[in-house]
Structure 1
Amino acid sequence: MAASAGGVEALRTLAAGLAADLPAAIFVVLHIPATGRSLLGPILDRESAFTAVVAEDAMAIQPGLIYVAPADRHLLVRRDRIELSRGPKENGVRPAADPMFRSLARAWGPAAIGVVLSGALDDGSAGTVSMSEAGGTVIVQDPADALVPGMPASAIAANPPDYTLPLAEIGGVLERLVRAAAPAPREEEAMPSVPDPDDHLRAEQRPAGPASGFTCPECSGALWEVKDGALARYRCRVGHTYSEDAMVEAQGQAVEAALWTALEVLEERGELLRRIAGRMEGKPRSARRFEESAREALDRAALIRRALSMGVGSYALTVDQMLEETAG
């Protein structure tokens, strides 16, 4: 199960409806800050007949348990155990849904079920493509029923799921699917020719696909465009990976950070130039030159401050206005 903004209540509802004898193990990724501590395990443990725990590396997979991804670790599902990875962030987050779904598809194939719940942007969409290609079942919360519809809507657009349901109906479908005769789990060792995209201990190679001309918001390395079915994603040499929505979001954050830096430098420069001008006694021409330079720096700083107050979506328009005003 994967969720982000608005997903805690959805996860609580699903956990509360689990029958104690349901023969399944459940893995949960919820986007949380890297420096935070996940409280989701204790919350779900209080709500559910299952036992909810924060996942640990090499923990054995057992039915009746809910394994919650800890902060700053990808949760990877193997055939008999869990692996926690500090591999590169995907879609700007760690833990991310895509690596969990990919590993689940690889290890359990047709016996795997992926659930996408409320959340922003589109983490999980590429992972559900892998789930479907492996013969697994994909369930997506109806976007109209989700508190934040971004993740469910993106998953539906990327790959038509097996079920699109309001939250109240997901538990019943899960119960029916799990109790049905499930195919045997897939033998990972039987596919040695297929590289494991989540094995970040190996030396990374240049990603397949054409160079995008963009740079990675995380490490500033070159990005290549890779395809997951019809989905386009961007991946750098070390493995940071972005969907198109996540790339737009990350670039917006980078633009804002750059503008705040420029604002600080320009205001500091204006103050320095004015201080120098004030010390130019007996040198009016030099003082005037420094004062004009200070005013120019502070005027540019004021324009940047105005751009920041207008928000990321207004930057392009504001930059055009700044150029016109500066030229005038």
Structure 2
Amino acid sequence: MPGHDIIVIGTSAGGLRALSVIVSGLPTQINAVFFVVQHLEANKPSILPQILEDVSSLPASHPTDGEKIQTGRIYIAPPDYHLLVNSGSMRVVRGPQENRFRPAIDTLFRSAARTYGPRVVGVILTGYLDDGTVGLQAVKKRGGVAVVQDPNEAEYPSMAKSALRYVKVDYCIPLAQIPDLLVRLASVPAAEEESYPVSKEIEIESNIAEQAMNTQEFLENVEQIGIRTTYTCPECNGSIWQIGKEEPLRFRCHTGHSFTANIFLSEQSQNVENALWSAVRAMEEKVTFSRQMAERMKNLNLQKAATKYQDHAQSLDEEVSLIRGIIINGFATKRSIAGEYEEPQEEKLR
């Protein structure tokens, strides 16, 4: 029986140090392959493979689409591309963002769970927000092993806390203990795959990430796993479905963008704020124009008209102040609601 030899790792803020600790503790000869998603800036080249190779005895690289999987290697999702695992090979695709990320941890974990079932070990490390929680749920549903870095020592504990909140985790341990655990699990025989069938949700959502369906097929399939809502996608304004009934609450749009509830709320708040700032800009232009017209009427000795324009400008100015107050107070409320789920600027790895 094969061991738990498909190891998928997800991290975000603080991930460079965490990944370095793990890969530096791996032996040269290990009967396993490692797939990594670290949230990276989309428009910057990444040297993360070189950084990890410097501290590891295993080769590391950004794979290409269709590349064959080789044991004893570390494969890292390139910036702005999802890394998906198929049987014996990988897909590197620019599918729809999940939780505002591409690459996303959930897409990698879900694809590995679909393909390799009980052989998969899912590892969640330091990071903000909750990407990886839904993917780790998929790993568990297919009989895999869930490992989470102890949030008490994580540089940014939000991702670990989310995973612990919603997933029945097998191991929650300090970072320094994870390499030895992975080595041991790689030699422990995995369960029979037939005991953990692929669910409809895992299959359909893996196909969405891979963009393996046309529009009609997508709509037919997403209707099978979700309930259409009255919401619109904050990314593309498309129709939104609520996916499943499990926690965390999550949504997916008709083009494939996916959000957990916290991210969806944050995106909606940002869209409202953007709309209000647009209103402020338009109204301030109207204030300026009204005052210009008032001055023009004065020059033409049309005092009544000048007063009318001046009063209109004053009224608009007061309304602009109210909207500015709504924006400022609303932004503070949004941060209060989101709490630890607010994401700072990601680490710059290039």
Is TM-score (shorter-chain normalized) higher than 0.5? yes
Answering whether residue 310 of structure 2 is matched by residue 302 of structure 1, we say no
Residues 272 and 249 (structure 1 numbering): CA distance in 2 closer, same or farther, change over 3 Å? same
From 54, 58, 64, the equivalent of 2:62 is 54
Alignment TM-score, normalising by the size of structure 2: 0.83
TM-score (norm 1): 0.88
- Check whether the contact 2:269–2:334 (CA below 8 A) recurs between aligned residues: no
Equivalent-residue separation in structure 1 for 2:68 and 2:192 (angstroms): 18
Aligned twin of 1:205: 219
Residue 273 of structure 2 is matched in structure 1 by: 256
**How big is each residue's C-alpha offset from its partner over 1:205-244, in whole Å with a ceiling of 9 and x where there is no partner?**
1533323322110011121111164432111111111111
Determine the C-alpha separation between the residues in 1 that align with 2:110 and 2:69: 17
The answer (yes or no) to whether the contact 2:66–2:91 under 8 Å persists in 1 is yes
Q: Answer yes or no: is 1:227 the counterpart of 2:241.
A: no
1:50 maps to amino acid: L
Q: CA RMSD in A?
A: 2.4
Q: Deviations over 1:144-193 (max 9, x none)?
A: 1111111111111111111111111111111110122345888xxx9798
- Structure 2 residue 307 is matched with structure 1 residue 288: yes
Q: Aligned pair count?
A: 314
Pair 191,254 (structure 1): closer, same or farther in 2 beyond 3 Å: closer
DSSP-derived class of the 1:210 partner: strand
Aligned-partner Cα distance in 1 for 2:61–2:23: 13
**CA deviation after TM superposition for structure 1 residue 291, in Å:** 1.5
After the TM superposition, which of the residue ranges 198-207 and 75-84 deviates more from structure 2? 198-207
| Structure 2 counterpart SS, 1:153 | helix
* AA in 2 matched with 1:291: Q
Single out whichever of 160-169 and 203-212 deviates more from structure 2.
203-212
Q: Superposed, which structure 2 residues align to 1:136-175 within 5 Å?
A: 136-175=144-183
Displacement after TM superposition at 1:195 (Å): 3.9
- Identify the match of residue 218 of structure 1 among 235, 239, 246: 235
Out of 300-309 and 92-101, give the one that drifted further.
300-309
User: Does the CA-based 8 Å contact 1:307-1:314 persist in structure 2?
Assistant: no
Measured in 2, the distance between the counterparts of 1:232 and 1:19 equals 40
| Aligned-partner SS, 2:13 | coil
Identity %: 36
SS in 1 for 2:113: helix
Residue 228 and residue 61 in structure 1: after superposition, are their counterparts in 2 closer, same or farther (change >3 A)?
A: farther
AA partner of residue 72 (structure 1): D
Matched, 1:117 2:128: no
**Is 1:246 paired with 2:263?**
yes
The 2-side partners of 1:92 and 1:138 are apart by 23
In structure 2, the gaps of 5 or more residues are 1-8, 337-350
| CA deviation profile, 1:221-270 (whole Å, cap 9, x unmatched) | 12111116443211111111111111122122222222322222222221
CA contact (8 A) 1:117 1:151 kept: yes
Output one character per residue of 1:292-326: Cα deviation in whole Å (capped at 9) or x when no partner. 22222222333333444446233799xxxxxxxxx
Q: Tell me which of 70, 82, 86 is aligned to 2:94.
A: 86
Q: Which residue of 2 aligns with 1:105?
A: 113
What secondary structure, in the 3-state scheme, does the structure 2 residue paired with 1:83 have?
A: strand
**Of 39-48 and 98-107, the range deviating more from structure 2:** 39-48
Counterpart Cα distance in 1 of 2:41 and 2:117: 30
Amino acid corresponding to residue 219 of structure 2 in structure 1 = Q
Which residue matches 1:312? 331
Q: Do 1:29 and 1:97's aligned partners in 2 also have CA atoms closer than 8 Å? A: yes
In the alignment, is residue 3 of structure 1 matched against residue 11 of structure 2?
yes
8 A contact 2:86–2:111 mirrored in 1:
yes
Whether contact under 8 Å (1:24, 1:178) holds in the other structure is: yes
Amino acid in structure 1 at the alignment position of 2:331:
V
Q: Is the 8 A contact 2:239 2:254 kept in 1?
A: yes
Letter in 2 for 1:52: A
What's the counterpart of residue 296 of structure 2?
279
Which structure has the higher relative contact order (CA within 8 Å, separation 6+)?
2
Letter of the 2:129 counterpart: L
2:134 aligns with 126
The one-letter code sitting in structure 2 at the alignment partner of 1:242 is F
> 1:67-93 CA distances to partner (integer Å, 9 max, x unpaired)?
111111111011211101211111111
User: Which moves more between the two structures, 10-19 or 259-268?
Assistant: 259-268
